[in-house]
Structure 1
Amino acid sequence: MGDLVGGVFDMYFKDGNPYKNYNLDKQGEGQFWAAAVDEKRKDEPAAKACDRLPFWVTKGAPTKEPLAVSPRILAEYAYGQIPVPDTDITMAPEGETKVNLPTWVWLDKAKFKKISVTATLPGTGLSATTTAEPVSLKLDPGTSDAETYPASGECPIGDDGRIGMPRAKGTPADTDPPCGVRYLRSSGDASYELGATITWRVTWTSTSEPGGTLPPGEFGATQDVVVREIQSVNR
C-alpha cells in the first residue's frame, strides 16, 4: 500500500502529471498551496472541507480553488485572534447596594476601545485587517424586581467613546445614572447575578478588496450584587 501511494505522489508531483520535479525549476514564479485547518475551529463540520492535494498557484494569479484563502477568509481568521478583554464592569456602589437606590455601571474607557488584528498569507500579497469596536453594554439585573438605566437596559457608547459614566464624588445617592440598575427588593441572604454583555461591531479592510462587516461579537459575564434594605431609626 505504501509503495502504491508513494508511486501516485511521484506521478503527481515528480514525473510530470501534472507537475515535474515538484516545480523546482519554477521557484519564484509561484508556490504550492495546501489545505490547512484552524486549530481553534478544527471540530467544525467544514474544517476539513478542502481535501485537495497540494496544488500550484502562479505568483500574482488568482487561484481557482473556491475554498482557497481570500482576504475575507483572512479577515475571519483575524477575527478569531482579536484579544477581546474580559467583560469587567465597574459599579458604584461596588458589590453591595441598597433597595431603591441606583447603582452606576460603566466600562474602563482605556480598556474597552477599538482593537485591530492583521492576518497575512506570506508570499501571496494577501492580507486583511479586522477591527472590533465596543458599541453598547446590555445589562440584565438578574431579577424582575429591578429597573435599568436606560429602560431598555442597553447602554450605548457616548460621543466621548465611553459606555456609562463613573459616579463623581459627592453625587447624591438617589441620582439617576446614564447606565445602571435600581433594585426594588432585597436579595436577602443571597445575591443577584448582574449580567453584562458587550456588543462589539466588527469590520474588515484589505488592500485588494473593499472589505465590509462581519457578524457582531457579544461577550458577557455576571457579577454578584448584594442588595440590602435601607436601615432607618424611628424616634
Structure 2
Amino acid sequence: MTGRAPDNGGNKQETDSAIWDRYTEGKYKDFNLDKQGEGSFWAGVPNPDEPDAAKAQSCTELPFWVKNGEQPDVENAISPKILSALAYERIQVPGTEVELNPKDRQTVNLPTWVWLDKGTYRPLSVTASVDLGGGVEISATTTVKPKSLALSAGTEDARLHPGSGECPVSEDGGIGSPYEKGSGKKTPPCGVTYLRATQDGGGYPLKATLTWDASWEGTGGAGDDDLPDGRFGNTQNVTVQEIQSVN
C-alpha cells in the first residue's frame, strides 16, 4: 500500500488528501510499518463473477487494519459462511446421464428400468480457506450429494415409477436399480412404462433431472444446509416399439 494514495471509491465525502493522511499521519501512521507481523490491511474486493455491475462496484470499503487472528467485524468480511459459498461455486458435478434397460429400444407395456451409476454420482466436496495471520486459519467445506432424480416421459402415454416420477436415493446411496435377469415383469423402483409406440422414426424425449443436496461445515463448528440445491437435467430420445403376438 505504498506509492500512491488509496482510491476513495464511493467515499466521496472524503478528499484524496484526507484519505492519504489517514494512512500516513492519522489512524494508520506510516501505513502501520511499525506493526509489521502483528496484522495486515484488509480491503473490499469486487466479485469478478457478479453479473450486476452496480452491485459489483458497491464494494467500496477502504483498506483497514486487522490484528492477526481476528475476524473483521464488517459486512461481507471473509467468514466460514462466505467461504462455503465460494467452495459451492467451485464444485463441478457430472452431467446427468441415466442408464436404461432395455438400452436401445423400449417396448410398449414393458417397464424401462432407469438408474444412475453410483460410482459417478457420489458425494463431492470442495474446501475454501483463508489465513488470518498469526497461525489462525478459517475454512469451510461444502459437500453436495445426489438427492433425487425426477423423470419426465416425454408423452402422456406412459406410466412413471414411482407415480410421482421422483426417484429418491436408496439406503445404499444409489438412485434406481440396475435391471437383473428375470425382472422383466417386476415394477422398477425408478423407471417408465410406455403405453404407445413412437411413430415415423421419431422418439419420446425422456428427461432426467438430478437434484444435488448441498450443505457445509466450517471453522468453529459453523455449518448449515442453507445453500441452494443444484438441479441438472438431460434429455434423450427413446424409441418405443410394439411387439405383435399371435395367439
Do they fold alike, i.e. is TM over 0.5?
A: yes
Q: Single out whichever of 145-154 and 217-226 deviates more from structure 2.
A: 217-226
Q: What's the CA shift for 1:182? A: 0.9
Q: Tell me the residue number matched to 1:22.
A: 31
Aligned length: 231
Q: Cα 1:9–1:45, aligned 2, differ >3 Å: closer, same or farther?
A: closer
CA distance in 1, matches of 2:175, 2:140: 28
Q: Kindly report the root-mean-square deviation, in angstroms, between the aligned alpha carbons of the 2 structures.
A: 2.4
The whole-number CA distance in structure 2 between the counterparts of 1:3 and 1:46 is: 24
Structure 1 partner of 2:204: 192
Partner of 2:189: 178
Residues 1:99 and 1:209: Cα distance change in structure 2 (over 3 Å): same
Alpha-carbon distance, 1:143 to partner: 1.5
- Is the 2:46–2:59 Cα contact (8 Å) retained in structure 1? no
Match of 2:234 in 1: 221
Unpaired runs of 5+ residues, structure 1, are: none
Q: Tell me the residue number matched to 1:51.
A: 60
Q: Distance in 1 between matches of 2:204 and 2:22?
A: 65
Q: Contact 2:76–2:82 (CA<8 Å) still a contact in 1?
A: no
| Partner residue in 1 for 2:154 | 142
Partner of 1:118: 127
Aligned ranges for residues 1-235 of structure 1 at < 5 Å? 7=17, 10-13=20-23, 15-43=24-52, 46-123=55-132, 125-168=137-180, 170-188=181-199, 189-213=201-225, 214-230=227-243, 232=244, 234=246
Give me the whole-angstrom Cα distance separating, in 2, the residues matched to 1:62 and 1:3.
26
SS of aligned partner of 1:83: coil
Any idea what SS the aligned residue of 1:39 has? Answer: coil
Q: Is the 8 A contact 1:130 1:205 kept in 2?
A: yes
Q: Distance in 1 between matches of 2:186 and 2:53?
A: 49
Q: Give the partner amino acid of 1:191.
A: G
Displacement after TM superposition at 1:140 (Å): 0.9
Structure 2 contact 48–56 (Cα < 8 Å) conserved: no
Q: Secondary structure of the residue that 1:11 maps to in structure 2?
A: helix
1:80 match: secondary structure: helix
Q: Distance in 2 between matches of 1:151 and 1:44?
A: 45
Percent of aligned pairs sharing the same letter: 44
Partners of 2:110 and 2:193 within 8 A in 1: yes
Q: Residues 178-207 of structure 1, C-alpha deviation per residue, up to 9 Å, x if partnerless?
A: 110111122212111111111111111112
Q: For residue 11 of structure 2, what is the aligned residue in structure 1?
A: none
